[in-house]
Amino acid sequence: MTRLLHISASPRGGASESLALAEAYVAAVVDRPDVQVEHWDLWDGSLPGFGPDASAAKMAVFAGQEPTGAAAAAWERASAAFRRLDAADAYLLSVPMWNGSIPYVLKQLIDVVSQPGMLFRFDAEVGYSGLLTGKKAVLVLTSAVYGEGRPTPFGIDFQRPYLEWWLDWAGIEDVTTIEFRPNLVTDQADPLRAAALHEVREAALKL
């Protein structure tokens, strides 16, 4: 059984291009008996914060200590979020571009789950090594203005490089990235959307 976790970073529901593409991916695999699909809407209020108590807990863990009191409670909330992530064998991330980068709730998820002994280990001589090895991910990335080859006034991409770096840092080497970037031009949107849908369905066949 392959456990697929769809992580949705768009708050736009039925108006979301990234979510529509992700739903096409899910539709292609959801009836397979060997696939179990879970959806994690990052806007549903289930994501914990990562403030002073959680930061204190992280530093305690880095120092080889056990968090206590409020720090321990915050660490458990972060641990629960990580366990939900780690339970999956494969990830589908649907992500709109916000201000050249990613929605803040996705950065919140990344900051909550990227913890020592969970997502990575650290060695003073060799640095970081990711612990989510053997998993795969599909990135569905959209933007309304930015697109490759467009001049700088149309934006700069900190979305794809950051997410691909984070997945690699976490130990996930099998990553497929699908982009839909129509630049709000009607006569480009339909063929570009069709091409992205084709890519999504092809990627689903490889799950």
Interval 156-180: pLDDT, tens:
999 999 999 999 999 999 999 999 9
Report the first-to-last Cα separation within the chain, whole angstroms: 11
Distance CA 181, CA 164 (A): 17
> Confidence class of residue 137 from pLDDT cuts 50, 70 and 90?
very high
Q: Give yes or no for residue 186 having a pLDDT over 80.
A: no
Express each pLDDT in 64-103 by its tens digit.
Answer: 899 999 999 999 999 999 999 999 999 999 999 999 999 9
> What angle do the packed helices 186-205 and 17-29 form, to 10 degrees?
30
Task: Indicate the residue type of 140.
Answer: V
> Confidence class of residue 133 from pLDDT cuts 50, 70 and 90?
very high
The model's pTM is 0.95
| Mean pLDDT confidence for 35-41 | 98
| Mean pLDDT confidence for 8-13 | 97
Q: Give yes or no for residue 8 having a pLDDT over 80.
A: yes
- Structure tokens that stand for 66 in this block: 């056990």
* pLDDT in the model for residue 187: 77
Q: Give yes or no for residue 204 having a pLDDT over 80.
A: yes
Strand ranges, E, within 52-104: 90-96
The answer to whether residues 106 and 164 touch, using CB atoms and an 8 Å cutoff, is no
The answer to whether residues 167 and 205 touch, using CB atoms and an 8 Å cutoff, is no
Please name the fold of domain 2-205.
Rossmann fold (3.40.50)
- The pair phi, psi for residue 32, each rounded to 5°, is -75, 130
The answer to whether residues 121 and 129 touch, using CB atoms and an 8 Å cutoff, is yes
The answer to whether residues 153 and 191 touch, using CB atoms and an 8 Å cutoff, is no
Q: Give yes or no for residue 51 having a pLDDT over 80.
A: yes
- The pair phi, psi for residue 177, each rounded to 5°, is -115, 130
- Structure tokens that stand for 125 in this block: 């001589």
Distance CA 122, CA 117 (A): 8
* pLDDT in the model for residue 188: 82
Q: Give yes or no for residue 198 having a pLDDT over 90.
A: yes
* pLDDT in the model for residue 56: 96
The answer to whether residues 80 and 88 touch, using CB atoms and an 8 Å cutoff, is no
- Structure tokens that stand for 110 in this block: 């990344």
* pLDDT in the model for residue 29: 98
Proportion of the chain above pLDDT 70, given as a percent:
100
* pLDDT in the model for residue 185: 72
* pLDDT in the model for residue 62: 86
